[in-house]
Amino acid sequence: MVFKVLLSLSFTFLLAAFAEAKPVWITQDFQAGKCVELASGDVDKGEDYIKRKCLSFPAASTWIEFHEGVRVSVGFGRLPHLALSNMDAARGNWPIVWGGEKTKGKFVPKVVIARFAYQTEPPIVERLFIFRLLDSGLSCIVGEVASNEKARRIATAAMAKWTCQSEAQVLKY
């Protein structure tokens, strides 16, 4: 009887392991996909900003707002919002990494890893920010680390369970 119970439990755990989806990772340029300018300010009136939407995947966009050419704010998901604000706009040519799952042969993004630099005096402080795409169409930051390995571990864990570190700001244009 004990053997049957153990065999049954082993089989259940084996099925659960196979049911767990393995994360899929896709690397893109920061402003990949079809980008459109949503709004821009009149510099002569002291309004120095540009707001963009880059369709990265069906139902997942990169939302970008540049301020005075020196700061950038971003969000990821279906709806216009900013989850990270006032980072250094001279962020380099760092790509972003989308993490998710394949469902019926299609990639469904759940997390994003992106490198940004704080606006500070030299030396520049670069960090990897991990964003969780929420069912609401917004995103939030779930982690901030220095290494790619740690970022990938946090992003993988955030696909199942996460705690937002702050709320997103709705992007108006």
According to the model, what pLDDT value does residue 125 have? Answer: 85
- DSSP code at position 33: S
Return d(Cα 9, Cα 168) in angstroms, integer: 43
pTM for the structure as a whole:
0.84
In the chain, helix, strand, coil percent, each to 5? 20, 45, 35
- DSSP code at position 134: -
From 109, 37, 31, 116, select the one nearest 77 (Cα to Cα).
Answer: 109
Least confident of 24-33, 81-90, 102-111, 116-125: 116-125
Mean per-residue pLDDT of the chain: 86
Statement: residue 74 has pLDDT above 90: yes
Return d(Cα 101, Cα 107) in angstroms, integer: 6
How far is the CA of 60 from the CAs of 115, 144, 166, in angstroms? 19, 21, 20
How confident is the model over 6-18, as a mean pLDDT? 38
Statement: residue 18 has pLDDT above 70: no
Identify the burial level of 42 via C-beta atoms within 10 angstroms of its C-beta, where 0-12 means exposed, 13-18 middle and 19 or more buried. exposed
Pairing type for strands 106-117 and 96-103 reads: antiparallel
pLDDT digits (tens, 9 = 90+) for 128-169: 999 999 999 999 999 999 999 999 999 999 999 999 999 999
20: confidence class by pLDDT, cuts 50, 70, 90: low
How distant is the alpha carbon of residue 120 from its chain centre? Answer: 23
pLDDT digits (tens, 9 = 90+) for 78-113: 999 999 999 998 877 889 999 999 999 999 999 999
Backbone dihedral angles phi then psi of residue 55, each to the nearest 5 degrees: -75, 105
